[in-house]
Chains A and B, each alone.
Chain A
Amino acid sequence: MTRRPDGADRVDASTWFHQEWERLLRGGHGMAVHPGILSRLVSRTAALLHRAQHEEPFRPELAGQVGAQLVDAHFTDPAVLSRAVELLQLGPDTDGRGPALSGAFAAGWAEALRERTLREQEAIRLAADTARREVEKALRESENKFRALFESAAIGIGIGDTDGNIISVNRALGEIFGTGSTDMTGRRVDELVHPEDTPGVWEAYEDLIAGRTEYFQFDKPYYRQDGEVVWTHLTVSLIRDDEGVPLYQVAMLEDITDRYRLQERLRHQATHDPLTGLPNRVAFFERLEKLFEEPEPGARFGLCYVDLDGFKVVNDSLGHDTGDQLLAAVGQRLETALTPLGHLVARLGGDEFVVLLEDCRGEQEAVAAAKTVLAALARPVQVGDHSLAVGASVGVLERRVATTTPGAAVRAADLTLYRAKEAGRGRWTLFDPKENARAVSRYAVSVRMPAALDRGEFFIDYQPLCSLADGSLVAVEALVRWRHPQLGVLGPDEFIGVAEETGLIMPLGRWVLEQACSQATEWVREFGDRAPQINVNLAVRQARNAGLVTDVERILRKTGLPPGKLQLEITESTVVGPEDEALKALHGVRDLGVSLAVDDFGTGWSNLAYLRDLPVSCLKIAGSFVGDLHDPAKDAHTGWRIVSGLVSLAHTLGLTVTAEGVESGADAERLRQMGCDWAQGWYFGRPVRPDEISRRIAEERRQAEEQAQKHA
């Protein structure tokens, strides 16, 4: 309602004004105001306006105060001003005060609004400035954090532009390159090539700086300032600006030289014979099997199976050292004579060597290789003061690849060799299928191991495994022996191979497990908690046998040995891949509560990746690692780092570590310091009869009791 009622009397006009005033304030913004506060505002402002309209003397500034109060109460909508001016013009005044009142109200409202607006603008500016300062401070702190992170990171970090100029590197990177961090800046990334760079690394780099990829990872070698090679695990990432334009490349380098060398060493060890440096049995079979994978039609190959004549005599009469030196010299001669012809010379073990002829052109070539072998060994070998005349016998096999298998070929060559030996030494014999068949049966008869088992010719010795922390005996390894009627006592390495080939390993392995478990149970009965864990070797064939779990379960039940006291030792070659069926059996054994250890670790392994997936709890580091520490030809410092690397590798995988072949107190102490858990070797005790072990435990128990009494 805009117009006040005409002709109304003064009281009506006042009432009308008050109603309209209240209606004005209750609408719009007033709806958001608390009703009590609003009522107070209405009555306070209405009272002021009433005085302005009617009081003498006339004080228009009262209307100005009302205008200011409305703005203070957040009535800033211009519609309020407009309506208020209108109402005041029409107001119930007596003497034409309307225009002056509305003018004063408008001035008061405008003045207050101006002040309020300026105040609020200042407040929001201040808030914006404060917020911006906070952000800048946070950015600065973040920058400092980054800088500290960059500088003190253990990993080498370098930043370069997309043209390939190095802008900044941290201290760790400087250390990796053997330079100060400033020497690297200004150099170019593409100067850092190395001949052993993985193919594709520089293509990946080009893709990255061109913005085609976001990051790449490689293992990459670099030359240090001093010319040495450092191997790194390199990750390079691309940094883009807000629009996505490539700005920087950030390279992170982790020094993996030790790990790389360890891997190289493990790979080399796995494929090379430590004595002669020749490829070993594993490497030989790998090469041979590769030949059979995808042979060219009509492809041929040759094998010369070489066995030294009279080696055993040298070994027995002049000692192992002389025997070893003789073998090393023989290996050297064979390699010198045959490798230039393009043939592979490998040592299969003992005094057996083999020459592999790939792409053989015929029997003549294989025979020529055999003659070269004999000629190479014709001159005596000088070992120390001894001039040793060693001859050799050679079994020669030359076949089409397609007609045979690697296993059959090697067996045939071996049997051919056997015939050469029988025919008198120092000669070569060519494979003959008929002779071969005859020899197979003779050979099998001569072995007769099954009978040996029935006749009770096998027995078991036990070798202590001791805790490095306090030297106490914690476990014993069962080692089977064969008391051969003609040859005397044979160690496992002399007949286990044959047992595996003939299948006798199955009954023999079962027998050993039964014997060892029942012996271990006796110790548990006698010594309780002090009884040692029993370690029993598990042959590859046993692990692959479906009945393994049942066997172990039956033997544990029969002997009553707590499963936790039994540990089976497997070799690295037991499981050759993640799909290997042996894995299932091993898991089954583990589920019985029996633990598993990897024996001779580092000698046969070529893929560390499988280790993770094996259900093993212990690694036994092969004796050759500790043995090599005392080889004057080898760098002991590197040797220790390798051992230490193996220990930490095992611990990373959550495995306990036993060092084999520990022969001195100093080595034991050093191994203890690097955190190795257990040790085995002559220093801790040779393989002995079980009652010797019993005596030793009893002695330890007596000492411990004395100790306890002293403290009591």
Chain B
Amino acid sequence: MQQANWVPAGTDLEQPNAARVYDYYLGGSHNFEVDREMARKAIAFWPELPAIMRSNRAFLRRAVQHLAEQGITRFLDIGSGIPTFGPVHEVARAVHSESRVVYVDHDPIAVAHSRLLLKDDPQSVVVEADLRHVDDLLSRPEVAALLADGEPVALLLVSVLHFIVEEDDPYALVRQLRDALPPGSALVICHASLEGRPDQAGAHQDLYKRTPTPMTMRNREAISRFLEGFELLEPGLVYLPEWRPEDPESVGPHPERMTGLAAVGLLP
């Protein structure tokens, strides 16, 4: 049975939370000691994590900017977390001032925080919903309205699918979302990968095991299956820094160390 409308998920501050840990990696202070403690442990194992997160953030920016330049003015950011630095609406509005963004997260604190940030912004809304309950997510009025007019929508699944375990069938969830998108829409995907740094992946997944959002890293083949039905934009499914870099130097000598794989696909 689905419980999305019954009682919201807990606000347990004694457990680390992926959105706040991510904020810490990015140098923010929207986090609590329990989040920092976990982040510090992770960084001790894997010092490049903050750089990977920045790389991830930079990819999101480039992807949103590119799609905005292609004329997309509607964005559905699922798993938006705590978007303090370079949030989607800011990036998109730099291109089209009327861009609409619906942020979706299932963490009540991230949602409350996003609402505080966006309370004076009529074009951006925050929805508390769970990607694992797509029916419920799609039925929310704000989400339905964004998808209703047949205008293309950019669906952002940036660093969120690796928090969906296989038992919840992430492929079916993405298919269901895809089927709800109007033609010409886009899927922006970025997913923690086992490739690049197989030596780090195991220990890192273990750390997330005690959070409410355990992590499932996937390989290239598994990640590319999320993009079925979409036509990939150049350069396809690549390591984070390799996706349309603004200048070739920023890719660096070891893009595979930024272990996330990223892609943008268009729905015919």
Interface residues of A (CB under 8 A from B): 28-29, 31-35, 74-77, 116-117, 120-121, 123-124, 126-128, 130-132, 134-135, 138-139, 142
Contact = CB atoms under 8 A, between A and B. Distances in A.
Contact of B7 (A32, A34, A135): A135
Instruction: Give the 4 A-B residue pairs with the shortest CB-CB distance, closest first.
Output: A127-B113, A131-B108, A120-B29, A76-B27
A33 B30 CA distance: 19
A124 B30 contact: yes
Given A120-B30, A121-B29, A135 B91 contact: no
Interface string B18-62: 001000001111111000000000000000001100110110010
A32 B8 contact: no
Given A74-B85, A124-B109, A34 B27 contact: no
B207 interface: no
6 contacts: A29-B54, A32-B54, A32-B57, A76-B27, A127-B109, A138-B7
Contacts of B85: 32, 74
Best-surrounded residue of B26, B94, B108 (most CB of chain A within 10 A):
B108
B10 interface: yes
A124 B7 contact: no
Given A33-B86, A34-B86, A128-B112, A135 B27 contact: no
A120 B30 CA distance: 5
B120 interface: no
Contacts of B54: 28-29, 31-32
A77 B25 CA distance: 10
Interface of B: 6-8, 10-11, 13, 20, 26-32, 50-51, 54-55, 57-58, 61, 65, 82, 84-86, 91, 94, 108-113, 115-117, 246-247, 250
Contacts of B55: 31-32
Contact of B30 (A35, A123, A132): A123
B113 A124 contact: yes
A128 B10 CA distance: 11
Contacts of A75: 27
A28 B26 CA distance: 10
Given A31-B55, A32-B57, A131-B11, A124 B32 contact: yes
Contacts of A116: 29
B43 to A, nearest CB: 12
Given A135-B8, A138-B8, A34 B112 contact: no
A300 to B, nearest CB: 62
A135 B10 contact: yes
Given A121-B29, A124-B82, A124-B113, 10 more contacts: A29-B26, A29-B54, A31-B55, A32-B26, A34-B61, A34-B91, A117-B29, A123-B117, A130-B112, A142-B6
A135 B108 contact: yes
A127 B7 contact: no
Contact of A123 (B27, B61, B113): B113
A28 B111 CA distance: 28
A131 B107 CA distance: 9
Nearest to A132: B11
A135 B7 CA distance: 7
Contacts of A77: 27, 50
Contacts of A33: 58, 86
Contacts of B51: 28, 31
B109 A74 contact: no
A244 B74 CA distance: 46
Contacts of B27: 29, 74-77
Nearest to A136: B11
Contacts of B246: 35
Given A31-B250, A34-B91, A135-B10, A127 B86 contact: no
A34 B65 contact: yes
Nearest to A120: B29
Contacts of B50: 77
Contacts of A123: 30, 113, 116-117
Given A127-B109, A131-B109, A31 B29 contact: no
Given A29-B27, A74-B85, A124-B32, A131 B112 contact: yes
